[in-house]
């Protein structure tokens, strides 16, 4: 199982760095196939996201992809929201969580399909609004074991005027705050499989570096097409698992 988890960590890290996602959109469904329960899968996913998002933030800081001065406010809202979401995991039924996860993927797929890869409006800079957006996304992050960028990216592109690649990078930065907050909450609730999470976290660092390298080399129009295909696959695999039981 450790070898499978390590390989999964590398793949998830690669996809995280390339698509700007925390990794839960990939790791949670696959961990379910591995035989983990959804709540345990969420805990493992969150632990991997802590390591992966920190590595990605360090790389993007060196590349000056964005200015932390303003976007950090997304994260501050996400801390509170993710803690609330983490507590809701203990209350909600596992099947309800699964369908919530599927709904989030469907929403993201629709927004990305309708958005333009090159912004048609000026980038919105509003710190209080950033706090509110971060808080709302953080609730879903803590509940579903996803970093939040699965919602952050289409919101920034569709409503806030962010370029697609920058939005992806900001989404992964946001994952730092939500994943750390969710990890602390789930640890306190006794829902973290430390060994499995550590195996995935360490191995994902290799994939993160490769994913960001690829991101910097693909054209933005091609990037959007690849992103849409990726979300269709995640939607289909999760739906099959839920329907098949």
Contact in structure between 191 and 47 (CB atoms under 8 Å): no
What pLDDT is recorded for position 245? 59
Residues 100-155: tens digit of each pLDDT: 777 877 877 787 787 777 777 788 889 999 999 998 888 877 776 666 777 788 88
**C-alpha to C-alpha distance for 245 and 240, rounded to whole angstroms:** 8
Q: What is the mean predicted confidence (pLDDT) over 33-55?
A: 87
**C-alpha to C-alpha distance for 41 and 18, rounded to whole angstroms:** 22
Top pLDDT among 242 and 32 is at 32
Global pTM reads: 0.77
Residues 204-241: tens digit of each pLDDT: 999 999 999 999 899 888 888 888 888 788 778 767 76
């Amino acid at each position: 199982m450790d070898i499978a988890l390590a390989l999964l960590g590398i793949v998830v890290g690669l996809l995280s760095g390339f698509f700007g996602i925390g990794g839960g959109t990939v790791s949670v469904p696959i961990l379910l196939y591995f035989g983990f329960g959804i709540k345990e899968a969420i805990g493992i996913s969150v632990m991997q996201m802590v390591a992966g998002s920190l590595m990605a933030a360090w790389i993007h800081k060196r590349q000056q992809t964005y200015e932390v001065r303003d976007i950090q406010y997304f994260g501050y809202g996400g801390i509170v929201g993710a803690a609330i979401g983490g507590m809701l995991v203990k209350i909600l039924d596992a099947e309800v969580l699964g369908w919530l996860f599927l709904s989030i993927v469907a929403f993201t797929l629709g927004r990305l399909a309708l958005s333009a890869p090159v912004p048609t409006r000026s980038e919105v800079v509003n710190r209080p609004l950033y706090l509110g957006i971060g808080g709302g996304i953080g609730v879903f992050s803590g509940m579903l074991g996803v970093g939040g960028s699965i919602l952050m990216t289409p919101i920034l592109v569709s409503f806030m005027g962010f370029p697609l690649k920058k939005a992806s990078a900001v989404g992964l930065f946001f994952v730092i705050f939500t994943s750390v907050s969710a990890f602390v909450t789930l640890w306190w609730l006794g829902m973290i499989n430390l060994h499995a999470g550590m195996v995935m976290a360490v191995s994902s660092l290799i994939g993160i570096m490769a994913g960001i390298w690829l991101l910097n080399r693909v054209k933005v129009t091609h990037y959007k097409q690849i992103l849409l295909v990726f979300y269709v696959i995640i939607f289909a695999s999760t739906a099959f698992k839920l329907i098949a039981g």
